[in-house]
């Protein structure tokens, strides 16, 4: 894959994390933590597994850590692990329904949030946040999926 394509993918992931940064201070009062950045990353690996391997996940994670995280390595670790799991089951995912996909990716996103709190902010760990975020991120996944698919078809099929 061309380097410019990597930059486009990275830009969408950064946009997702930026959205999270903008919206989470508002939504956290409703016990909801949005996770656009992670869902967008998951979408790209899910949509183009043969092009996004471990090194890409590591690189995207490092850049995200530098810009958005409080520690280096957190997003790197989760991006790599998620990428591995998606690669492992990528063909099974192909026969999943939208509902099943939403449950899987929203579950991964809740796991991401849970570990973020456990590692970086254990005092604020809350099961209610995880449960609320699970349901809302499942809905968001559908939006991310269709939006990013339209974007990918526009950008990558025309280039």
Partner 1 sequence: MARSTPTYTPVRNYAIGIFLSAFLLFSDISYGTFSPLRGLMHASSLYAQMISSNIFSNINNTFSSFQKNAYLLEKNKELTEQILKIKTQDFIQRKDNEEKIQISNFQNDLISVLGSKNINLFKIASIDLRNYLCCSQHRVFLQTTNEVQPAANSPVFAGNSYIGQTKNTYMNFIEVILLSDTKHVLPIKSDFFYCDARGKGKPMLISCKLGKNDDFQHKIGDAVFTSGLGGIFLKDIEIGLISAINSVSINEIEIIVTMKTNPLEETFYGILSKVTDEI
Q: Applying CB under 8 A, does 158 fall inside the site for partner 1?
A: no
Among 5, 10, 24, 152, contact with partner 1 (rule: CB under 8 A)? 24
> Which one, 93 or 156, has the nearer CB to partner 1?
93
At closest approach, how far in Å is the CB of 38 from partner 1?
15
The DSSP-derived string for 112-144 is HHHHHHHHH-GGG--HHHHHHHHHHHHHHHHHH
Q: Whole-angstrom Cα distance, residue 2 to residue 100?
A: 32
Q: Which of residues 124-153 bind partner 1 (CB under 8 A)?
A: 124
- Chain centre distance of CA 52: 14
CB 89 within 8 A of CB 48: no
Among 1, 11, 55, 147, contact with partner 1 (rule: CB under 8 A)? 55
Q: Applying CB under 8 A, does 120 fall inside the site for partner 1?
A: yes
Q: Which of residues 77-106 bind partner 1 (CB under 8 A)?
A: 77, 80-81, 83-84, 87-92
Rounded to 10 deg, the angle between the 127-158 and 36-47 helix axes is 50
């Amino acid at each position: 894959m061309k380097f410019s394509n990597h930059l486009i993918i990275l830009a969408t992931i950064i946009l997702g994390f930026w959205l999270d940064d903008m919206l989470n201070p508002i939504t956290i009062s409703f016990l909801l933590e949005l996770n656009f950045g992670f869902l967008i990353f998951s979408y790209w690996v899910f949509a183009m597994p043969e092009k996004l391997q471990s090194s890409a996940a590591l690189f995207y994670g490092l850049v995200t850590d530098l810009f958005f995280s409080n520690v280096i390595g957190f997003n790197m670790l989760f991006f790599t692990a998620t990428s591995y799991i998606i690669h492992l089951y990528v063909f099974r995912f192909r026969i999943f329904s939208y509902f099943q996909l939403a449950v899987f990716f929203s579950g991964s996103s809740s796991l991401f949030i849970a570990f973020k709190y456990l590692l970086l902010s254990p005092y604020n760990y809350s099961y209610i946040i995880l449960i609320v975020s699970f349901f809302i991120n499942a809905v968001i996944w559908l939006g991310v999926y269709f939006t990013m698919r339209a974007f990918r078809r526009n950008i990558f099929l025309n280039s």
